[in-house]
Amino acid sequence: MNANGLINMVVRQFLGRFMNKGIDAGIDYAAKRGKRGEELSHEERLRARNAKQTAKRAQQAGRLIRRIGRF
């Protein structure tokens, strides 16, 4: 493997990690509807937790579909 391929591989790995962190942060923000954790009522916290779990399942389903699509 040449240096260019090695650099591209490392950059892709870091870029993927940063993208995932950004996506996760956006999902958390949407689940909390823009409020801070201490501003949420008990019911809103439950809704945010459920929304987070649903988003996690959707991400897992997306990964599974992409994996199946490779074959």
Mind listing the pLDDT tens digit for each residue in 10-61?
Answer: 999 999 899 988 888 887 777 777 677 677 788 888 888 888 888 889 889 9
Which position has the token pair 């459920």? 50
pTM: predicted TM-score of the whole model, two decimal places: 0.54
**Are residues 60 and 52 in contact, defined by beta-carbon separation less than 8 angstroms?**
no
pLDDT > 80? residue 70: no
Separate counts of helices (H) and strands (E) for the chain:
2, 0
Quote the pLDDT of residue 41.
83
Contacts of 35 (CB under 8 A, 6+ apart): 44
Number of structural domains the chain divides into: 1
Q: Which domain holds residue 48?
A: 3-69
CA distances from 37 to 8, 12, 15, 21 (A): 38, 33, 28, 18
